[in-house]
Structure formats: C-alpha cells, structure tokens
Amino acid sequence: MNIEIGAKIKQLRTALGMTQEQLGNELSVSAQAVSKWESGTTMPDIQLLPELSIIFGVSIDELFSITAESRMDRIENMIEALHFIPEKDFLDAENFLKEKAEDDKTKARSTLLLAELYSKKSAEYSEIAAKFGKEALLLNPDEKPAHNVIFDSDNGKYLDYNASNHVEIIDFYKDFLKIHPENPRTYLWLMDLLIEDGRTEEAKEYLEKMDKIEHTFRTDLYRGLIAKAECNLPAALEHWDKMTEEFNDTWLSWSSKGDCFARLCRYDEAIACYEKALEIQPAPRYMDMPEAMSFISEIKGDFEKAIEYRNFAIKMCETDWNITEGEWVDFHKREIERLREKM
C-alpha cells in the first residue's frame, strides 16, 4: 500500500513539474518527508490527504489508486460483512453508486449494488422495528398495531388475501419472461410466487416451459411442490423421490428434498437429506443446511444440538470460506447466545 501511494504521489508530482522540495513547501513538510513517501518508507499523515488531492487536482480515492471497480468491491464486502452499516459509510456508498449509475460503463453493477445497499438498510430497520414492536406488544398486549409491525418487519404471514397476494411481482416476472424467455432461473422465482398464491395451473404452464429449456432436478422438485399445493401429498413425495433417484449425485436435489420434508415437519427425514447433501457438496459448502438443522433442533427443543449446528456453521466459515470474523461468523454467534438464553 505504501509503495503504491508513493508511486502515485511521484507520478502526480512529476506530471506537474514539481520538485520534492516544492511539494514539501506547499504542505509545510520537508523534502525528505516527500522522498520517504515516494519510496514507500512512510505514508503521508491522513490530515494531509485533502491538501494533496487539491494540489494534484484528483480525488482522495484516485490518490490511493482506488478504481471504481475496487471501490464497488469494497462496498460489496461491506454489505456482506457488516451487521449494521454506519450511517456515514452508507451515505458515502449511496452517493458514489448514484454517481456511477449515470455512467454506462458502471451502470449495471452500480445499480445492482444500490439495490443491495438499500435492501441491507431495509433489513437493518426491519430488525430494529421488530425489536420495538415486540417490546410494545409486551407493554400492551391489546395493541393490534404492534402485531402489524412485527408481521411487516419479521416475515410474518397474513391470511388476508389483499395483504398477502403477489399480483404485482408476478406480473413483473411474467413481463420479464416475455423479454427473456430463455432464462430458466426466472421461471423458479415466478413459480414460487404462483404456488404461494395457489395459482397452480399457471405454475404448471411455466414449469413445462422451463423444463424444455433446461431439464434438472428442479423439474420434479416443482412438480412435487405443485402437487403438495393441490393437497396431493402422495404425488408430491413420489416426485421428490424421483428427483433424488435421477439426480442422486446432485447435492442440491438432496438439500431441496430436505427443505420439503422440513416444511412437512418430517424433521428426521429432513436432517438425513441435509446431511447427505453436505456429504456430497464440494467445498466451499453453503451455510443453508446447518442453519436449517439448527432451526429444526430448536423447534424440537434440543437447544444443545441447535448450538452444535451453529458451531458447525462457524467451523465451515473457516474451513470452506477462510472467514474467521465479520457478519458471516457473528450472525451464528448471536444465534448461539439467543439459544443459550432459551435453555
């Protein structure tokens, strides 16, 4: 880092035709200090950076040779690594991404990062809202608006059709598929919504279209999900068995089957499927399965086992992802503390 900054200072200084002594005089430091910066021996004091940027006519990011791509990398890492993003960092990232969203070269990535940044902030506020909503309800058990806050912020499910249907987002994905009909993953998002709303006949139509584009384990997965939504559990189980028979070596087929069993409260079968998936999934493995097994153990009242799975997830962060700190690890640590309080 020191060498890169030093080289940048030297490049900018010589481009202006300045000597080390002249630059030192502008900053009230010695020529020897400038020489040490340029050789990478030391770095300029942070308080001098604004003055340096003014003298050279560049931003501080440019002074540090931080490209737009590398700054977007930093923002992406911040979104993933922090539980709560400090307000100043959020505003800095927001302003930078809005600026880059006007540039055709960086528009696509910066627009996506803006969406992820706002989604992160939304999740932060939702967590805070749920906390205060629960406190408010405990203070006044008859406070209906507190229930609304809890449901809205903590993934509650309304029975009211007007509040729970997905008409608008379904229409968006239908229109999207008219433009991009060969995009198989979009069919999955659309079918999830259609099945959730009980629109199974439409889901079947889109499933057949997807299967013609790409035949994977997901074909029988969704045939089973549709059958379950139509209250035909034997047919659903048959489709899921066929899925893991045809795609026996595909870890996602076993993980998906585990999810299906978990939603049927067939917990032992779910855990067996998750363990099979973990066994055959190549590294780096995802955290979904140990998290799911921890929730299942918590539901069953086995808090020690739930903690064991959380610790396993922390170990996977280290062994599979080389991550020992940050939100990936801290999330599981918070869950362990929560589980210990329930014991």
Please identify, among 37, 63, 89, the residue that sits at the C-terminal boundary of a domain.
Answer: 63
147 in the same domain as 90: yes
149 in the same domain as 84: yes
Query: In whole angstroms, what is the distance from residue 317 CA to residue 309 CA?
Result: 12
- Please check the confidence at residue 166 and state whether its pLDDT lies above 90: yes
Asked, for residue 211, whether it belongs to a domain, the answer is: no
- Please check the confidence at residue 2 and state whether its pLDDT lies above 70: no
Q: How many residues does the chain have?
A: 343
Please identify, among 92, 125, 154, the residue that sits at the C-terminal boundary of a domain.
Answer: 154
Structural domain of residue 18, as residue ranges?
A: 2-63
- Please check the confidence at residue 1 and state whether its pLDDT lies above 70: no
Q: Tell me, what's the pLDDT at 150?
A: 96
Asked, for residue 130, whether it belongs to a domain, the answer is: yes
DSSP codes joined into one string, 97-122 = HHHHTTSTTTHHHHHHHHHHHHHHHH
pTM: 0.78
Asked, for residue 238, whether it belongs to a domain, the answer is: no
Asked, for residue 46, whether it belongs to a domain, the answer is: yes
83 in the same domain as 48: no
Asked, for residue 276, whether it belongs to a domain, the answer is: no
- pLDDT tens by residue, 121-154: 999 999 999 999 999 999 999 999 999 999 999 9
- Name which of 323, 268, 314, 271 is nearest 292 in CA terms: 271
What's the CATH code of the domain at 43? 1.10.260.40
140 in the same domain as 103: yes
Query: In whole angstroms, what is the distance from residue 234 CA to residue 70 CA?
Result: 52
148 in the same domain as 87: yes
Domains in the chain, number:
3
Q: Tell me, what's the pLDDT at 214?
A: 94
- pLDDT tens by residue, 38-49: 888 888 887 888
Please identify, among 154, 175, 196, the residue that sits at the C-terminal boundary of a domain.
Answer: 154
